[in-house]
Amino acid sequence: MGVKAVNSRINMRESRYAKGNPFRSIYIPKDPKEILDTAFKKALRISPPGGIRLNIIKRKKSVTITRIKTLSNELYKRLLKIVKSLPSVDNIHPFYASVMEIWLSKDDYKRYIAKIHGAAKLVQRIAEDYILRIRSTKKTEEIPVKEVLDTIDKLRIEAYGRISSVIESLSTELARLADLIRKMKKLPDYDPSLPAIVVSGPPNAGKSSFVKAVSNARVEIASYPFTTKNITFGHINFIENGIIIGKAQIADTPGLFDRPINERKEPELLALNAIKYLADIIVFLFDGSYERVMDYDEQIRVYKTVREFLGRDKPAIIAINKVDIRDDDLITKLREYITKKENKEYIEISAKNGYNLNILTERIRRALEIS
Ligand SMILES: Nc1nc2c(ncn2[C@@H]2O[C@H](COP(=O)(O)OP(=O)(O)O)[C@@H](O)[C@H]2O)c(=O)[nH]1
Ligand SMILES: [Mg+2]
């Protein structure tokens, strides 16, 4: 609608971190069988060399050696690809690194990767060893052809067996990594070059409704708590006189309950990590309605937790939502607390009917120093 950006790099900043979720395009087979099957298929496609000049032993040696080589090369390549595809936890944005630790410690993550790498090298060593042994089988006066062929078969079966068990020994590591990747992929693509607003508050306070109202985020809204289990990003353009003067990303987060950290569920831990590591500012929504799921005291304690995770140097913008179905007693108490105890201003909004949302976005813009 006649809106244009004066400069596509408005309020963008440098970052040492890449844009997006570092686990986005990773695939880890969760079962070693998958890796073995593909490699064996390739190896078994090798057919014995033709030609009548090679004797039966040479033919058997040749095909067996090529199969073992192919098998180990395929496995090596596949395992190394897995190792290389996994980001180094020390180089990814701290948000992703700390969320990862909800499910898998950094040490285990590193150990698993090292074990896969070790397995790749071990497979190659086993293959080389057996290839040498197969090469040195010979027919002699005492050893008839049949026996040589049997030895080659025996060595081949042994090599396949040892190689397979190396791969199978990775079952725990692969399963845990695959599971981790599946969970990590659900995280949003954070853009470190843009400021981030994190919307937080108790369950059912209208966080998703607010994010949906002010951004392009596709979020889920429902009339019961726990709808939002994940973090979703939307983007906001700040517009003045028909011109985009700034951009930000805004995160919808799961609601927080009033309980100690060790009793918090995964969605809450995600929310707290977003507050701690992604937020440049937060918008805290109190639920000021008679339909609230949390009473005054609990809401205040949730607010205090959020403040603690945000750190003192970052601003929190406070709003009381659902004033269209307001509980006056509750709102009076909240107002007392916010203005007297916290010495802060707040704004009454309705995410549902849009009341005061423009003023709230204006406050966000000022807090982000976009002008
Ligand atoms: N009356 C009223 N209902 C609202 C308002 N904001 C959200 N809701 C409703 O409250 C419920 C929870 O909203 P949601 O945005 O999912 O809350 P969240 O759990 O904080 O993300 C939904 O039924 C919304 O339609 C509001 O300002 N006024
Ligand atoms: Mg929600």
> Contact 250/199 with Cβ under 8 angstroms?
yes
Task: List, for residues 321-336, the tens digit of each pLDDT value.
Answer: 999 999 999 999 999 9
**Average pLDDT score over residue span 14-32:** 94
User: What is the whole-number distance in angstroms between the Cα of residue 265 and the centre of ligand 1?
Assistant: 21
Q: Distance (Å, rounded) from C-alpha 59 to C-alpha 57?
A: 5
Nearest CA, atom 19, ligand 1: 204
Domains and CATH numbers, the chain: 32-184 (1.20.120.1190), 196-367 (3.40.50.300)
Residue 4 has pLDDT above 60, yes or no: no
Q: Distance (Å, rounded) from C-alpha 22 to C-alpha 185?
A: 9
Q: Distance (Å, rounded) from C-alpha 208 to C-alpha 251?
A: 9
> Contact 346/323 with Cβ under 8 angstroms?
no
Query: In the numeric block, which tokens belong to residue 316?
Result: 């929190």
Report residue 253 CA to chain centroid gap.
15
Strands 243-252 and 232-240: antiparallel
Residue 346 has pLDDT above 70, yes or no: yes
User: What is the whole-number distance in angstroms between the Cα of residue 209 and the centre of ligand 1?
Assistant: 6
Alpha-helical segments (H) within the chain: 32-44, 56-85, 94-103, 106-135, 145-168, 171-184, 207-214, 266-277, 296-310, 328-336, 357-367
> Contact 70/131 with Cβ under 8 angstroms?
no
**Average pLDDT score over residue span 49-58:** 78
Judge if the beta carbon of residue 352 lies within 6 A of ligand 1. Answer: yes
Q: CA of 127: how far to CAs of 72, 133, 158, in Å?
A: 6, 10, 10
Q: DSSP string covering 192-204, please?
A: TTS-EEEEE-STT
User: What is the reported pLDDT for 54?
Assistant: 72
Task: List, for residues 117-176, the tens digit of each pLDDT value.
Answer: 999 999 999 999 999 999 999 888 888 899 999 999 999 999 999 999 999 999 999 999
Q: Distance (Å, rounded) from C-alpha 188 to C-alpha 191?
A: 9
Number of neighbouring beta carbons within 10 Å of residue 246: 20
Q: Which residues surround ligand 2, an ion (CB under 5 A)?
A: 207-208, 228
Q: Distance (Å, rounded) from C-alpha 199 to C-alpha 229?
A: 14
Ligand nearest to the CA of 256: 1
> Given phi > 0 = left and psi -120 to 50 = alpha, else beta, which region is 238?
beta
Ligand nearest to the CA of 207: 1
User: What is the whole-number distance in angstroms between the Cα of residue 330 and the centre of ligand 1?
Assistant: 17
Judge if the beta carbon of residue 10 lies within 6 A of ligand 1. Answer: no
User: What is the reported pLDDT for 2?
Assistant: 54
Judge if the beta carbon of residue 255 lies within 6 A of ligand 1. Answer: yes
Q: Distance (Å, rounded) from C-alpha 326 to C-alpha 282?
A: 23
User: What is the reported pLDDT for 141?
Assistant: 87
Task: List, for residues 91-126, the tens digit of each pLDDT value.
Answer: 999 999 999 999 999 999 999 999 999 999 999 999
Nearest CA, atom 14, ligand 1: 206
User: What is the reported pLDDT for 1?
Assistant: 47
Task: List, for residues 218-273, the tens digit of each pLDDT value.
Answer: 877 777 766 788 999 999 999 999 999 999 999 999 999 999 999 999 999 999 99
Judge if the beta carbon of residue 204 lies within 6 A of ligand 1. Answer: yes
**Residue bearing tokens 């509980």:** 327
User: What is the whole-number distance in angstroms between the Cα of residue 308 and the centre of ligand 2?
Assistant: 21
Q: Name 320's bridge partners.
A: 286, 348
Number of neighbouring beta carbons within 10 Å of residue 162: 15
- Give the mean pLDDT of the chain: 94
User: What is the reported pLDDT for 48?
Assistant: 77
User: What is the reported pLDDT for 218?
Assistant: 83
| pLDDT above 90 as % of the chain | 87
Helix or strand run (H / E) with residue 247: strand 243-252
Q: State the angle between helix axes of 32-44 and 145-168 in degrees (0 to 180), rounded to the nearest 10.
A: 150
Look at the pTM and tell me if it is higher than 0.75.
Answer: yes
User: What is the whole-number distance in angstroms between the Cα of residue 220 and the centre of ligand 1?
Assistant: 11
> Given phi > 0 = left and psi -120 to 50 = alpha, else beta, which region is 355?
beta
